[in-house]
Amino acid sequence: MSPVDNGLVVDGLEVRFGGLVAVNGLSLEAPIGRITGLIGPNGAGKSTSFDACFGFTRPSAGRVSFAGVDLTHASVTTRAQLGIGRTFQRIELFDNLSVHHNVALGLEAKLAGRSPFTQLFARRAERQAVEAVTREMLDLCHLNDLAETRAGTLSTGQRRLVELARALAGGHQLLLLDEPASGLDAHESRDFGRLLRRVVETRGTGILVVEHDMSLVSTICDYVYVLDYGKLIYQGTPQEVLASDTVRIAYLGTDPVPEEV
């Protein structure tokens, strides 16, 4: 696969914690305008890889770049300003604030990162931009009817939508989504997958997603990387991954993979 100048490129990533090698020589590409999957059993190193890509964890070796810029030793703020956003396994919302305010924080945080003074003295044009983007993301994620609802009262599925809307409000070119379907039922997961496809198709956003829901992965991903014990063991289209004996043994078990209904 050729280098992707406008996306995320991870080359030979290694992350060590003392004598433990959590990620061992991982290389992958997550282009803009595509949904890329990163799967594997618990403890395979998926979230650690995300942490290294986003700047929470410093790699022991290897290189991380985005849009042609080397970010291996860059701060989280630098990566966010360049266009990388992230969500987490555990939903992080401000429960006492409304849905509208939670979503608005996506762009407000980005503006504050550029200039701390905007936290105290936001210009009128910036306030208008935040309001316009917030309303756009509320509409995109079907949250208009919940805009004034306190986030702490929402269901898990609704909270996942708020989390996504906030990330999108930041205007990021690439989103790292860590198990975004966790806690969702089958119907909510399918709807969430359709929303992610719509985001990519209408906004050109790139998505790198860690997910255990293989039905969702097979439906939304264009390309998938498989980790096991910190090492890349397979890569290919979702159909190739699901048909792989290597993947089935390491991640899905030895039983045949059921066909999607």
Of the options 3.40.50.720, 3.40.50.2030, 3.90.105.10, 3.40.50.300, the CATH number for the domain spanning 1-83+173-261:
3.40.50.300
| pLDDT tens digits, one per residue of 192-218 | 999 999 999 999 999 999 998 889 999
Beta carbons of 174 and 30 less than 8 angstroms apart: yes
The ranges of the chain annotated as CATH 3.40.50.300 are 1-83+173-261
The pLDDT-based confidence of 227 (bands split at 50, 70, 90) is very high
H-state helical runs in the chain: 46-54, 76-82, 99-114, 124-140, 156-169, 186-203, 214-220, 238-243, 245-247
User: What average pLDDT score do residues 148-159 get?
Assistant: 95
| pLDDT tens digits, one per residue of 28-61 | 999 999 999 999 998 899 999 999 999 999 999 9
Strand partners, 11: 63
pLDDT of residue 5: 55
pLDDT of residue 2: 41
The pLDDT-based confidence of 115 (bands split at 50, 70, 90) is low
pLDDT of residue 254: 55
| pLDDT tens digits, one per residue of 234-254 | 999 999 999 999 998 886 565
Question: Long-range contacts: 184-187, Cβ < 8 Å, 24+?
Answer: 184/156, 184/157, 184/160, 185/157, 186/215
What is the rounded distance in angstroms from the CA atom of residue 168 to the CA atom of residue 243?
33
For the beta sheet containing 8-17, the strands, ordered from the edge strand earlier in sequence to the opposite edge, are 20-30, 8-17, 61-66, 69-70
The pair of three-digit structure tokens given for residue 69, joined into one six-digit string: 């810029």
What is the rounded distance in angstroms from the CA atom of residue 222 to the CA atom of residue 23?
23
pLDDT of residue 220: 96
> b or e along 35-61 (b: 16 or more beta carbons within 10 Å of the residue's beta carbon)?
bbbbbbeeebbbbbbbbbbbbebebee
> b or e along 79-94 (b: 16 or more beta carbons within 10 Å of the residue's beta carbon)?
bbeebbbbbeeebebe
What is the rounded distance in angstroms from the CA atom of residue 217 to the CA atom of residue 83?
24
pLDDT of residue 3: 40
The pLDDT-based confidence of 255 (bands split at 50, 70, 90) is low
Beta carbons of 56 and 48 less than 8 angstroms apart: no
